[in-house]
Amino acid sequence: MSTLMYQLTSGDTIVRLTDNAFIPPDPGNTDYQKYLLWLEEGNTPNPYVKPGYETLSSAKATKINEINQQAYSRLVDSDWMIVRSTEIGIPVSEEWETYRAAIRAEANDVVTEINACKTVAAVMAVSANWVEKP
């Protein structure tokens, strides 16, 4: 096995880690040919790492931000009901109150699950199970 190291990217380009050269998947490219030979020798490139997921702490922070943004995007459409209820006393229907509470509870549960993760892969595997709008 070779000491050369390669890293996959989000696209089809490969990065040679010794000099950070980007290698396109072009059969006529000598660097790409060397990469293919390296693979044939039984080597495996480093996997693609999504930005924000480089370390466990950054992965947790990134994933928590993603979950909070997802929750916000689900709640913002009904915020006007809360404002209307507060300002002029028109009550929010029970089904909308239940929906909004379920969104907040799911976000909190998922954040707890993320914080308990021990690896970046485990963080990346966490997802929310959002309820449907009434």
- The rounded distance, in Å, linking the Cα atoms of 99 and 75 is 9
Residue 51: what pLDDT?
A: 85
- Are 30 and 68 members of one domain? no
- Are 69 and 115 members of one domain? yes
pTM equals 0.70
- The pLDDT of 17-34, averaged and rounded, is 94
Q: Is pLDDT above 70 for 97?
A: yes
- The pLDDT of 82-101, averaged and rounded, is 96
Is residue 102 in some structural domain?
yes
Scanning 29-134, the segments in alpha helix (DSSP H) are 30-40, 56-75, 79-88, 94-116, 120-125
**The total number of structural domains that make up the chain:** 2
- Are 33 and 66 members of one domain? no
Q: Residues 32, 24: contact at Cβ < 8 Å? A: yes
Is residue 79 in some structural domain?
yes
- Domain housing 36: 6-40
Q: Is pLDDT above 60 for 132?
A: yes
Residue 1: what pLDDT?
A: 52
- Are 80 and 113 members of one domain? yes
Is residue 50 in some structural domain?
no
